[in-house]
A = this chain, B = another copy of it.
Amino acid sequence: MRTRLGRQTVALERPSVILSRAAIGGRQEGEGPLASYFDHLSEDSFFGEKTWEKGESAMQKLALSKALEKGSLTPEDLDYILAGDLLNQCIGTSFGLRDFHIPFYGLYGACSTMGESMALGSLLIAGGFARRVGAMTSSHFCTAERQYRMPVPYGSQRTPTAQWTATASGCVVLGAEGQGPRITAVTCGKIVDKGVTDANNMGAAMAPAAYDTLSAHFAATGTGPKDYDLVITGDLGVLGHQIVGDLFAQDGVDMSANYQDCGMLLYDIQKQDMHAGASGCGCSASVLCGYLLGQMEEGHLKRILFAPTGALLSPTSSFQGESIPAICHALTIEK
């Protein structure tokens, strides 16, 4: 098993290539600093549909269609698609993808889904089981608010630790060969639950999972933060980002130079009044598929460690007094 480094990490002898990518966003994403990296920004939060849930599906449809179009590919060119989302029973995905007739493995990794789908997709390609795989996810502010918190029209007040669920979708097409950035190593996360119960402070709940997976990835690959142009978590926001830095500092590892979080980049946090930053599956997915891979294409980044985090709670588990289990999957992406 020469490609396995420790228990969680696989170094891909046959790296998968990111052949194509697409990022879709809504109005807030269009008003943020990364707007120019999106392929499509919709002023209409319904994306032309009658409900927000159908709108989220439309957004996934759009993301996959764009990624295929940009790669001059058809749905038939994909051997598998791996995807999931935050909605109960992942309906954003099942309804978004049903018309494409692509063999489908459904995932639930909460906001870590972009990492999970790319990791499993890379392993399917590296194992010789697929030539091309689609990996994608989405989130939508309005569907998430009414499912996890309060219907948007109630106008509930948000705590300072709260984050703003991105209305966004990201999709990559991975290939066994071709031109593009390569996924050279993947680390599968473990469920980590340090007892945080505040569902309005996801950053604190997820930070220990990010620390756990990044530590495992560094140890397995013999690398440290300095070996990457950027180490970037998914949607920890301002607080979670700080906690990850603190946890590594306790180990004597300095993350200050090149550690960022997608949740701190998607919006102008002050100007757009986004409290602790962005969150949602679509946050890390769209920041990767827009800004980060764009920066790699433009030559500003050569090697990044992409590590989206997910909080594996539900409103029911919180009502029942449970703490918040979290997970983080990490991938090395290099040019």
Interface on A for B, CB 8 Å cutoff?
1-4, 7-8, 10, 50-51, 53-54, 79-80, 84, 86-91, 94-95, 97-98, 101-110, 116, 119-120, 123-124, 126-131, 188-193, 312-317, 320, 322, 325, 327
Question: How far is B95's CA from A320's CA once the two chains are assembled, in angstroms?
Answer: 12
B317 in contact with A95 (CB, 8 Å): yes
* B residues near A325, Cβ cutoff 8 Å: 94-95, 98
* B residues near A87, Cβ cutoff 8 Å: 314, 316
Question: How far is B79's CA from A1's CA once the two chains are assembled, in angstroms?
Answer: 12
Which 8 A-B residue pairs are closest in the complex by CB-CB distance? A127-B127, A94-B312, A89-B314, A103-B188, A108-B108, A88-B88, A98-B191, A106-B108
Question: How far is B1's CA from A131's CA once the two chains are assembled, in angstroms?
Answer: 8
B110 in contact with A107 (CB, 8 Å): no
Question: How far is B51's CA from A90's CA once the two chains are assembled, in angstroms?
Answer: 24
Chain B residue nearest to A89 (CB atoms) is: B314
B104 in contact with A107 (CB, 8 Å): no
Beyond A1-B131, A2-B128, A105-B188, list 11 extra A-B contacts (CB 8 Å). Answer: A4-B129, A51-B320, A88-B89, A89-B313, A89-B317, A91-B314, A95-B317, A101-B191, A104-B327, A123-B129, A126-B129
Other-chain residue from B104, B119, B127 in contact with A126 (beta carbon distance below 8 A)? B127
A98 in contact with B128 (CB, 8 Å): no
19 A-B pairs with CB atoms under 8 Å apart are: A1-B129, A2-B128, A4-B79, A4-B129, A10-B129, A53-B316, A53-B320, A84-B108, A88-B88, A88-B315, A89-B312, A91-B312, A91-B313, A105-B107, A105-B109, A107-B107, A123-B123, A123-B127, A123-B129
A31 CB to nearest B CB, Å: 28
B80 in contact with A108 (CB, 8 Å): no
* B residues near A94, Cβ cutoff 8 Å: 191, 312-313, 325
* B residues near A189, Cβ cutoff 8 Å: 103-104
* B residues near A88, Cβ cutoff 8 Å: 88-89, 314-316
A203 CB to nearest B CB, Å: 18
Chain B residue nearest to A131 (CB atoms) is: B1
* B residues near A192, Cβ cutoff 8 Å: 98
Question: How far is B50's CA from A316's CA once the two chains are assembled, in angstroms?
Answer: 13
